[in-house]
Amino acid sequence: MSYKVAVLPGDGIGPEVMESALKVLNRIEEKFGFKMELIFGLIGGSAYDETGSPLPEETKKICLGADAVLLGSIGGPKWDGLPPEKTPELGGLLALRKMLKLYANLRPAVIYEELRAMSPLSERVLRDKVDILTVRELAHGIYFGEPKELTDTMGLDTMVYTSDQVERIVRKGFEAAQKRGKKLCSVDKANVLSSSKLWRRVVTELAHEYPDVELSHMYVDNAAMQLMLNPLQFDVIVTSNLFGDILSDESAAICGSLGMLPSASLGEEISLFEPSGGSAPDIAGKGIANPIAQILSLAMMLEYSFDLNEAAAAIRSAVDDCVKSGIRTGDILSAGMTAVSTKEMADAIISRI
């Protein structure tokens, strides 16, 4: 088995939290007796500043030659005024997604018992543990559908899915549900959209192959409402690119801080792993960012790309234990606690592995 990882720290807090994650990886390698080959590349605004491109050729090569990509974060106000294809988001992240044909974005939203008070939701709503996995289609739909047109007086986008595209992502949803709470909620707008009608039809046909999974369908407007009213009803949500963009952010909001939430974007051969949160330019360089999302993204990489499930579990339980022990960066602090630095958090996690 080859362990070649493209490491793209990116912008803002990316480099700091990546450094922490790589220290954790070091400890894991020691403990589990393997060694990964890390190749570093530039991406985002910092890549643009250095090379004139948010996704330089060199980075493309590095990624295409790797088994997995570990990304920090990208973007910041400094680069907001650039033409679209030069921005960290479009020219960097979206172009990379496209190049790697990343088709399934997995975003867990989990509230740690000890961090419940961080959630904007009331205790009545959070009477049990929120643990939602959004499986978002990432390679098609209205993000990439043709035609796309923009004139002085008209703007047009095309939301299109084929049954094969839907089948592939929906199977990921069913499979994820089988490994978790065995409940899958497919979200669409089938009362209005043709692409959603196709989506619902494919989901309904596939359901027979997964008799152990309890399937439900929900309209996207209702899903946006239900995530707020009663998030505990959800286990796995599977949905299209645009709806997944919206609902996975709403689910993340339930947890209060994005500093804890990792994500995986699966491709056919190469998958990408990154924190759900942004580059947090306001606190970048201060050494106070929460590295947990990056460290849990590393854990997802070990699990999804390399089947190193025990190693992933070791990271997760070390993180759990830190949170339980009241070790907190500023973003997840409660009254009466003292904030630790990015490095201290990483060290605390490492010492528990």
Q: Which residues are annotated as a binding site for substrate?
A: 97, 107, 136, 221
- Burial degree of 187 (CB within 10 A; 0-12, 13-18, 19+): buried
- Cβ(79)–Cβ(118) below 8 Å: no
Per CB under 8 A, the list member of 254, 289, 298, 301 interacting with a second copy is: 254
Tokens, residue 196: 């959603």
- Smaller CB distance to ligand IPM: residue 141 or 256? 141
3-state secondary structure 281-304: CCCCCCCCCCCHHHHHHHHHHHHH
Crossing angle of helices 292-306 and 14-32, in 10° steps, is: 50
Taking CB under 8 A as the criterion, which residues in 262-301 touch a second copy?
none
89 binds ligand IPM (CB under 6 A): yes
CB-nearer residue toward a second copy: 34 or 144 = 144
Rounded Cα distance between 282 and 263, Å, is 22
Q: What is the DSSP string of 191-226?
A: TT-HHHHHHHHHHHHHGGG-TTSEEEEEEHHHHHHH
Distances 290 to 227, 327, 330, 338 between C-alpha atoms, Å: 25, 11, 8, 14
Which position among 245, 304, 331, 347 bears the catalytic label? 245
CA distance 106 to 135: 5
Which is closer to ligand IPM, CB of 79 or CB of 210? 79
Complex with a second copy: residue 247 or 340, whichever CB lies closer: 247
CA angle 140, 141, 143 (to 5 degrees): 80
Phi, psi of 279 (to 5 degrees): -90, -5
- Our CB check for ligand IPM shows the closer of 68 and 345 to be 68
Instruction: Please report whether residue 161 would count as binding a second copy according to CB under 8 A.
Output: yes
The CB-of-191 to ligand IPM minimum distance in angstroms stands at 5
CA distance 233 to 304: 26
Q: Mask: binding to ligand IPM, 158-197, rule CB under 6 A, as x and -?
A: ---------------------------------xx-----
Q: Which of residues 193-232 bind ligand IPM (CB under 6 A)?
A: 221
Q: Which residue in the list 48, 161, 172, 189 is annotated as catalytic? A: 189
Selecting among 131, 157, 249, 320, the annotated active-site residue is 249
Query: What residue 159 binds from ligand IPM, a second copy, none (CB within 5 to 8 A, per partner kind)?
Result: a second copy
Contact code string over 94-133 relative to ligand IPM, x by CB under 6 A: x---------------------------------------
Distance CA 233, CA 312 (A): 27
Active-site residue set: 143, 189, 221, 245, 249
Residues that bind a second copy (CB under 8 A): 84, 87, 89-90, 94, 119-125, 142-143, 145, 148-150, 152-164, 189, 191-199, 220-222, 224-230, 242, 245-250, 252-254, 256
